[in-house]
């Protein structure tokens, strides 16, 4: 794997560490709901899904 791709994955990991930290997660912890789901749950799964997509594109670019 190229060094550039490794660096992108490390930056993504650090960003996820910050996004899933307690202070940032608690910003979305309130009583409002989105489509019947708590906002915190929607936030966690949205960030998780976006991180999987970003990782996929980084790794797919490495395969080429």
| Domain limits for position 50 | 3-63
Please classify residue 17 by burial: count the beta carbons closer than 10 Å to its beta carbon, then call 0-12 exposed, 13-18 middle and 19+ buried. exposed
For the chain, the average pLDDT equals 89
Map tokens 């906002």 to a residue: 39
Q: Residue 53 has what pLDDT?
A: 95
Q: How many residues does the chain have?
A: 64
Q: Residue 1 has what pLDDT?
A: 64
What's the pLDDT tens digit per position in 21-43? Answer: 999 889 888 888 999 999 999 99
- Residue 64 pLDDT grade (very low, low, confident, very high; cuts 50, 70, 90): low
Q: Residue 37 has what pLDDT?
A: 92
Residue 30: phi and psi, rounded to 5, are -145, -175
The total of structural domains in the chain comes to 1
Helix (H, G, I), strand (E, B) or coil at 18: helix
pLDDT at residue 3 is higher than 90:
no
């Amino acid at each position: 794997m190229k060094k550039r791709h490794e660096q992108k994955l490390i930056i993504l990991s650090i960003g996820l560490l910050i996004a899933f930290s307690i202070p940032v997660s608690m910003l979305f912890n309130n009583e409002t709901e989105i489509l019947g789901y708590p906002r915190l749950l929607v936030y966690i799964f949205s960030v998780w899904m976006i991180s999987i997509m970003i990782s996929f594109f980084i790794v797919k670019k490495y395969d080429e």
